[in-house]
Amino acid sequence: MIGRSLIISIYRTLTALLEPAAAGLLLWRQRRGKEDPARIAERRGYPGVDRPEKTLVWLHGASVGETVTLLPLVERLQRRGLAVLVTSGTVTSARLLEQRLPAGAIHQYLPLDVPRYMRRFLDYWRPDLGLLCESEIWPNLMIEAGKRGIPLVQVNARMSERSFQRWYRFPKTSRYLLSGFERCLAQSQEDGQRLAQLGAPRVSIAGNLKFDVPAPPADPNTLALLDGLMAGRPVWVAASTHPGEEEDVLAAHLGVKAHLPKLLTIVAPRHPDRGDEVAALAQANGAVSARRSLGQLPEREVEFYVADTLGDLGLFYRLAPVAFIGGSLAPIGGHNPIEPAKLGCALLHGPLVHKSADLFAAFDAGGGARQVADRQELAGAVHRWLSDPAAARQAARAAAQTSAQLGGALERTVQALEPLLMRVALGQRETAP
C-alpha cells in the first residue's frame, strides 16, 4: 500500500481508542435484534468454528444482495478443493446463507472495523486470498490484511457517480485504500473508470456477477399450493420494500382494486421483522391482510399478503407476472431486479436507483422494465400490465433476454483470479507483478 493519509491515521487511532464504545454498540444492536446473541463474539473477531487445515479463500459481502452474488464463486472455488470462508455483517444475510451456502463452506460474521478485532480475526483464519464484494472497503481490514501479506481483490466492484464525488474530495485517502487491492474487477466500464481515477490498481471489466447467480429456489409443494389459492386472481409482488414504500404500494393496491376487485398484492419487506408493521398498515386502511410468518395463506378474502419470511422471493416471483423492485421509491438506491427478471416478471421501479443505475437503465432500454415516479404512476403501471397479460408477458420476455445478454461475469472473474489462485495454491504471497 502507498503512504497512509492523515484521515486514515486519525481513523485508525479513534477506532482503537473507542473499542469499549464498539462493544457497547454491539450490545445496543443486539437489543434491537440486529445482532445474533449466540454469535456476537464473532463481531469482535472470535471464531465460531474451527479453521480447515488447507488453503482458505475468504469472501466478504455486506448483506443479503452481496452474499448471494458470491454464491456461484463459492461453488467454483470449492470445486478446486479450496476451503471457503464467507463473511457478512447482517443477521438476514446469515439466515439466508444457512439455506443457500454450499455444504462445506463456512459463514462467519465480519468483525467491526476495530484494529484489535480485525487482528484477532485475521490471525485465526489466516486467509490465503480475500475477495471483497462491490464496495466493502474498511481501513483497518485493509491495513491488517496488508501487514500479513494477504492478497485482496475487489470483485463485482462498483463506484457510483455519487460515491465517486465523495471519494474524489479525499484523493490521498482513496488512493491509499484502493492501493490495498491487487486487482479490481469492475461491473461496468463506468465503474472501472471511476475506480481507476481514484487510484485502484489493475482495473479490468468483468461484468456484474448478479447475472450469473441462479434464480432463487422455491419449494414445489408450496408453489403448487399457493398457485392453486391464487388461481384466477390478478397478482403482483412488491419486493424488498422499505418504510414509506409500503404506503405507496398500499395506495397503488387500493387504486388498482377499484378496477380489478379480485386483486392480490404481495408485499415482501426488505427486513422480514417488519411484517407486523406492514400488516397493521394494511388493516388500518381497510385492506384484509395475512402474514406468511404466522403460517397464514392468501385465502380468497385476503387482498394484501405480507411475505415476511426470509428466502421466499423465489416463490412469489414465480407466482406474480409483475414485480415492483423496492428501495427505489425510498432513497435506498434500488435492489436487485435480476432475480425477478429470470423468473418471468415484468419489472417496475422508482427513480431512486443510483446504486445500480446502469443495471436498471439496461432493463428499461430493453423493454423489460418501466420507471414510475410515485404511487399514482405505480398504480397505473400495475393496472395496465395486469389488465393486458400479453403485454406483461412481452415485457417479462424482454427482461429475461436482457438478463441473459448481460451474463458471463462469473467466467471472466474466475479467469482474472486464476493467477492468484495458482499462487496461493503454491503457498506464495508475494505482490502481483
130 in helix, strand or coil? strand
10 Å CB burial of residue 14 (0-12, 13-18, 19+) is: exposed
Contact 137, 178 (CB under 8 A): yes
Distance CA 180, CA 239 (A): 36
Query: What phi and psi values does residue 87 have, to the nearest 5 degrees?
Result: -115, 150
Report the 10 Å Cβ neighbour count for 151.
23
The region, left, alpha or beta by phi > 0 then psi within -120 to 50, assigned to residue 286 is left
384 in helix, strand or coil? helix
Beta bridge partners of 244: none
Question: Which listed residue (42, 66, 144, 182) is catalytic?
Answer: 66
Contact 93, 121 (CB under 8 A): no
Q: Would you call 66 a catalytic residue per the annotation?
A: yes
Residue type, 167: W
Complete DSSP assignment for 348-415: EE-S--GGGHHHHHHHHHHTSEEE--SHHHHHHHHHHHHH-HHHHHHHHHHHHHHHHHT--HHHHHHH
- Active site members: 66
